[in-house]
Structure 1
Amino acid sequence: MATRQDNRHISNLVPRSSSVLIVLLIFTCMVQSATYGYDGSMMNGLNILPSYTDYFHLNTVSIALNTSIVGIGNAVAGLFNGPLCDYLGRKKTLFYASCITIIGVAIQSAAQNIGMFIAGRFIIGFGVGISCTASPTYLSECVPAKWRAFTLGMYYDFWYVGALIAAGITYGTAEMDSTWAWRTPSIVQGVFSIICLVILPFVPESPRWLVHKGRNQESLEGLAATHSNGDTTDAEVQTQFDEIKCAIEWEKNQGEKLTMFETVRTPSNRKRMMLAFSVAIFSMMSGNNIISYYLGDMLDNAGVTNTTTQLEINIILNCFCLVVSIIGSLYAERLGRRFLAISSTTLLTIFIFIIGALTKIYGGSTNMSGIYGTVASIFLFQGSYSFGWTPLSVMYPPEVLHFSIRANGMGLYTFVASTFGLLATFAFPIGLEKIGWKIYMINGVWDVIELLFVIFFWVETKGKTLEEIDELFDGVNRRDARDLALLEKNAGEPIDGEEVFETQVVMPSKKDSM
C-alpha cells in the first residue's frame, strides 16, 4: 500500500499511480520526437508542392538548404544542451526547448521570404536539438528498467507519428491555391511542443539528477512515484535508490565532473562515447534520410511523377514504418540491442542495393513492373531501418553513457547526429542529380561497414539497470566498492544500516578500465 504524505517534496500534481505517470513521461518526451518526424515529412510534402517551391523561387541548392537548415540548428544546440540539462535539470530543459521550438514555428509559418523561412527553421532545429538530448536522458533516468527499452524505443517511434500527421496534412492542403497550402502544415508543427508544456507540471524531475544535487528525499519520492505508486518504503524502490546513490557517489569520488571533458577523460568513457557516436552516425547515414526528406526525388527517378500519387505513397510509407518500429521496440528487450542493429543493418543494406539496381534499369521508364518493384524496395528498406535503427537511435546511447557524462554525451551525440544528418540531407539531392542511381550503391557499401562495426564492437545492455550497465564498462560494482570502503574506514567496526546508507566515504584508488 502506497505511503501517502501530506507534504511531498515532489509536486502534488504528480499522480500517485505509476502506470499513469509512466504514460505521461512517455508522452512528454514522445511529442518532441514527433516534432522532428513531422518536420521531415512536412518538408517532404512541401518539396512536392508547387505553391511552396514557386513562392520561394527554389532551385536544387535552395531546396537542400531550406530542408537541411534544421540540422544546423540541431548541431549548434548539441554544443549547449548537455550543460543545460546538467545545470537546469531535465524538466526545465524540456520546458525551454519547447518554448524555443514554438518561436521558430511562428517565424517559419509567417515567413515572407526565404531568409525568414530559413531563420525560423534554424530556431526550430535549435529547440528540437535541445529536446533531443533532454528527452532520452530524462526518460532513461525515470522509467523502471523493465520498461526502459520499450519506452525509449517508442520515443523515437513517434517520429513516424509526427511524420504521418504531416503527410496527411500536406496531402489535405495540397489543393489550396494560396500560401496556406504550406503555412497550415507549418503552424500545426507547434502543437507538439504545446502538448509537452501542458504535461510537464504533472511529471517529476529525474531521480538521478536530484541525487546528484543532494535533493535525496525528492529523488526517493520521484522514484517511488514511477516504480511503486508512491510507496517510498517499497523494497525495490529502496534498493534502486541505494544503487543510484552508490553509483553517483562513486563517480564523484572518482573525480568525475559534469563537463564535456569528462566524456573523453578515461578509457571507459571514450569507449562509451565511441558506441554512442556510432549510433549517431549510422542512424543518419544508413540511407534513411534520403527517403525521409527526398522521397519525391526518389519517386521521380523511379518513374512515379504524379504529385498526388507521391503524397499518397508518403502517407502509406509512414504508416508502415510506424507499425514496424513499434514491433522493434516491443522486442528490443527480448532480442537485445545487438541483434536489433545487426538484423536491421543487414536487411537495409540488401534493399538499398536493390533500389539502386532497379533505379538504374527502370528509372524514368514506363515499365510498371520495374516501377512497382522500386517502390516496394523503398518500403522494404525503410521498414528494415525502422525495425532496428529507429528505436535504437535513442535507446542505446543513454544506456551506455553513465550519469556523469549522460547529458553532455547526449549533447555531443546530437551534434554528431545532426552534422551527419545535415551532410546527408544537403548532399543527397545534388548527388542524385549528378550521379543518379550510383548514390544508392555508395550508401550500400557504407552500410556494410556499419554492420561490421556493430558485430565487433557493440556491448549488449538488455536486462540491466543503468547502474548494472556501468559495471560492464568500469569493471566495478559501485555498491560493493562503497561497502568495502566503509569497512576499511571503520577498521572492522560494526556498520549499522543507516550509516551505510548515509555516510560520505573515501573510495579506493581510481581504476580506469575499458
Structure 2
Amino acid sequence: MGLYKKHFGLSGNALLACLTLVNGLTMGWFGYDQGVFSGVLISSDFKYHFPETLDANISGITSSCFSLGAFIGCLVAFAFGDKLGRRRTIMVGSACNTIGAVLQIAAFHLPMMIIGRIINGFGMGMTSSTCPVYQAECTKAKYRGRLVVVGSLSNTFAYMLANWMNYGLYFSSGPLQWRFPLAFQLLFPIISVPILCFLPESPRWLLNKGRTQEGLSTIALLWGKNLEVTNETVQDEYLSILDAIEQERLDRVPFKDVIRFRDKTQNMRRILLGMGTQFMQQFTGVNALGYYLPTILTEQLGFTEAMAKLLSACNATSYLGSAFVCLIIIDLVGRRRMMIYGSVGCCITYIVAAASVKVAETRLAYEMGALTVSMFFLYYVIYGTSYAKVPWVYSSEINSIGWRTRGAAAATATNWICGFCITQYTKKAVNNLGWGFYLLFAFIVLCYVPVVFCLYPETSRRSLEDLDYMFIQYPSPVVFRHKALTQRERPEEFVLAEKERILRGENLTTKLDNDSDRKSATITHVERV
C-alpha cells in the first residue's frame, strides 16, 4: 500500500499511461532535435552569426557532433545504466540534454554551439538507449510492441513539428529564426521530468537487483488497477521473471566467455542482432535525408529555400501518418516481415530517385525533380512503417534481463555512430556522387533482405522470458529453418515453457522462504542463549 501512495494512487492503465507519456516526451525530444537543426543550418541569421558553416566540412561537423555526443552517452549507459536503474539513467540524461540545449540557445560563437550540441547529444544517448527498455520491461507482452512504438511515434511527431516550425519561422527575421526553435525543446523536460519523479522503477530491474518485494509490488501496480500482490496474474508474471533471473545467474559465465559466444543464453549474439537492426536503420540513409533534405532540394534539385522547407514539413507530416500505421500493424504483422518489406520498398524508391536525378541532368529538369521529391515522400512512408520503429522495439526486447540495458545501449550507440558518419559525409557525397548517391543506398538496403530472413528470429507476441528460452533451445544463428523462430503467433512450446518457469519459480520462492525461516530461527535461538 505504501508503494501505491508513493505513486499518487495511480495503478494499472493510468500509471502505465503516465510512464508511456514520459517515454513519449523523452523520445519526442530526440526526434525534435533531429529535425530542428536542418532548418537552423540554412537560416540566414544563423549563417550570418556562424559564417564558418558555409563550408561543407564545418557544416557537417556542426550537425554530426550531436550524434558523436550521443554515441558517448550510449557508452556511459552501457557501463553504468544497469547500476543506476532505468529511471535514474533517464533523469541524468534529461539533465544533460537541458544543459546542452541552454548552451545552444545562448551560443554567440561556433565552439559554444558545438559544445552545446555534444552535451545535448550525450544526454540524448543515455535517454534514447534507456527509454525503450524501460517501456518494454514495464509492459505486458501483448501491448509491448505498440507502446514502445508510441515512444518512436512521438519522435516522428516532434520531427514533423520541428520541420513546420522551421518553415513558419523562415518568414521571420533575426535570431528568432533559429534561437526560438532551439529554445522550444525545453518544453519537453518541463513536462516529463516532474512526472518521471513519481513513476516506479522497472520491476524486472528491481527483481534482478534482489529487491523482490518492491519488484512484486510494482508488477501489481502496473499489471492492473488496484491489484493485490496475491493476484494469480501478478504471481505468474513474478514467478516467471524470478525463474528466468535465477536461470541466468546459474548459467552466468565470465565476460570474456560472453564475447566469445560461450554462454548458454547467447548474450553476445543477441547484442549483435540488436546492433544490426540499428545499423540497418541508419544505412537506409534516413539521416542523410533528415538532416540535409532542405539542402538537397535547394542545391541538387533547384528549389527555393521557402519551397524546400515547405516540402520538408509536408514530408514529415506524411512520415507521421505512416508511423501511426506502424503503431497498428507492428504486433499484427511481426518484426521480420516489416523489416523485409522495408528493405525492398526503400530499395525501389532509391533506384527511381537515382534514375530521375540522372535524367534531370540533361532534360526534363522540373518533371524529374518532382519525381525525385515524390520518391523521397514514398521512401519516408515505407521507412516509417518499417525501419523507423522496428529497431527500437527489437533492441529493447531481444536481450536477457542482465544484459538488457547494455544490449540496448550498444544498439543505440551503433545507431548514433552510424548517424554521425552518415551526417558528416552526406553533403560531400551528394556533391561528388550526384545520382550515384541514391544508387549506393539502394544496393545497401537490398542486402538486408537475406540477412533478416536468415538470421533474425521473430520477437512479437513473446514474453521477454520466452526469448531466453528461445536462444537456449535454438542455438543455431540460422533461424529460417525453424517455424517456432519465424512465426508471428506465440509457439505452443513457449507457453508450456512458461508454465514450467512458474512451477520452478514457486519452488524457488518456497526454498527462499524456508531458508529465511531457518535463518530467523537461528537468530532467535542465539538471542535466547
Instruction: Say whether 1:251 aligns with 2:248.
Output: yes
Instruction: Say whether 1:30 aligns with 2:1.
Output: no
Q: Which amino acid in the other structure matches residue 391 of structure 1?
A: K
- Does the C-alpha gap of structure 1 residues 317 and 415 become closer, same or farther in structure 2, counting only changes over 3 Å? same
Measure the CA separation in 1 of the matches of 2:193 and 2:261: 36
Q: Which amino acid in the other structure matches residue 196 of structure 1?
A: S
Please, which runs of 5 or more residues in structure 1 have no aligned partner? 487-494, 506-514
**Structure 1 residue 482, shift from structure 2 partner:** 8.8
- Does the C-alpha gap of structure 1 residues 458 and 497 become closer, same or farther in structure 2, counting only changes over 3 Å? closer
Map 1:76-475 → 2, pairs under 5 A: 76-231=72-227, 232-255=229-252, 262=258, 266=262, 268-301=266-299, 303-362=301-360, 367-475=365-473
Measure the CA separation in 2 of the matches of 1:173 and 1:498: 61
Q: Give the match for residue 510 of structure 2.
A: 499
* C-alpha contact 1:246 1:478 (8 A) present in aligned 2: no
**Structure 1 residue 15, shift from structure 2 partner:** 4.2
Provide the TM-score with structure 1 as the length reference. 0.90
Measure the CA separation in 1 of the matches of 2:351 and 2:513: 59
Count of aligned pairs between the two proteins: 489
- Does the C-alpha gap of structure 1 residues 141 and 14 become closer, same or farther in structure 2, counting only changes over 3 Å? farther
- Does the C-alpha gap of structure 1 residues 261 and 120 become closer, same or farther in structure 2, counting only changes over 3 Å? farther
| SS at 1:389 equivalent | coil
* C-alpha contact 1:15 1:202 (8 A) present in aligned 2: no
Per-residue CA distance 1:153-204 (angstroms, 9 max, x = gap): 2211222111112112222222332122111111112221232202102321
| SS at 2:153 equivalent | helix
Measure the CA separation in 2 of the matches of 1:356 and 1:349: 11
Measure the CA separation in 1 of the matches of 2:224 and 2:512: 20
Q: Give the match for residue 490 of structure 1.
A: none
* C-alpha contact 1:94 1:135 (8 A) present in aligned 2: yes
- Does the C-alpha gap of structure 1 residues 480 and 76 become closer, same or farther in structure 2, counting only changes over 3 Å? same
* C-alpha contact 2:239 2:501 (8 A) present in aligned 1: no
**Structure 1 residue 497, shift from structure 2 partner:** 8.8
Instruction: Say whether 1:42 aligns with 2:36.
Output: yes
Deviates more, 1:147-156 or 1:357-366: 357-366
* C-alpha contact 2:7 2:200 (8 A) present in aligned 1: no
* 2:68 pairs with one of 64, 67, 72: 72
**Structure 1 residue 83, shift from structure 2 partner:** 3.1
Measure the CA separation in 2 of the matches of 1:496 and 1:13: 32
**Structure 1 residue 100, shift from structure 2 partner:** 0.7
Measure the CA separation in 2 of the matches of 1:13 and 1:159: 26
- Does the C-alpha gap of structure 1 residues 238 and 256 become closer, same or farther in structure 2, counting only changes over 3 Å? farther
Provide the TM-score with structure 2 as the length reference. 0.87
Q: Which amino acid in the other structure matches residue 431 of structure 1?
A: A
Q: Give the match for residue 21 of structure 1.
A: 15
- Does the C-alpha gap of structure 1 residues 44 and 503 become closer, same or farther in structure 2, counting only changes over 3 Å? farther
Please, which runs of 5 or more residues in structure 2 have no aligned partner? 475-496, 517-529
Measure the CA separation in 1 of the matches of 2:192 and 2:169: 26
* C-alpha contact 1:170 1:185 (8 A) present in aligned 2: yes
Measure the CA separation in 2 of the matches of 1:455 and 1:41: 32
Per-residue CA distance 1:127-162 (angstroms, 9 max, x = gap): 000001110111110011111000112211222111
- Does the C-alpha gap of structure 1 residues 345 and 383 become closer, same or farther in structure 2, counting only changes over 3 Å? same
Q: Which amino acid in the other structure matches residue 255 of structure 1?
A: R
Per-residue CA distance 1:226-260 (angstroms, 9 max, x = gap): 11113123211110011111111111122258x79
| SS at 1:177 equivalent | coil
Q: Give identity over the alignment, percent.
A: 23
Per-residue CA distance 1:79-125 (angstroms, 9 max, x = gap): 11023321111111111111110000000111111100000000010
- Does the C-alpha gap of structure 1 residues 497 and 280 become closer, same or farther in structure 2, counting only changes over 3 Å? closer
- Does the C-alpha gap of structure 1 residues 54 and 504 become closer, same or farther in structure 2, counting only changes over 3 Å? farther
**Structure 1 residue 16, shift from structure 2 partner:** 3.0
Measure the CA separation in 2 of the matches of 1:86 and 1:10: 25
- Does the C-alpha gap of structure 1 residues 233 and 16 become closer, same or farther in structure 2, counting only changes over 3 Å? farther
Measure the CA separation in 2 of the matches of 1:81 and 1:181: 34
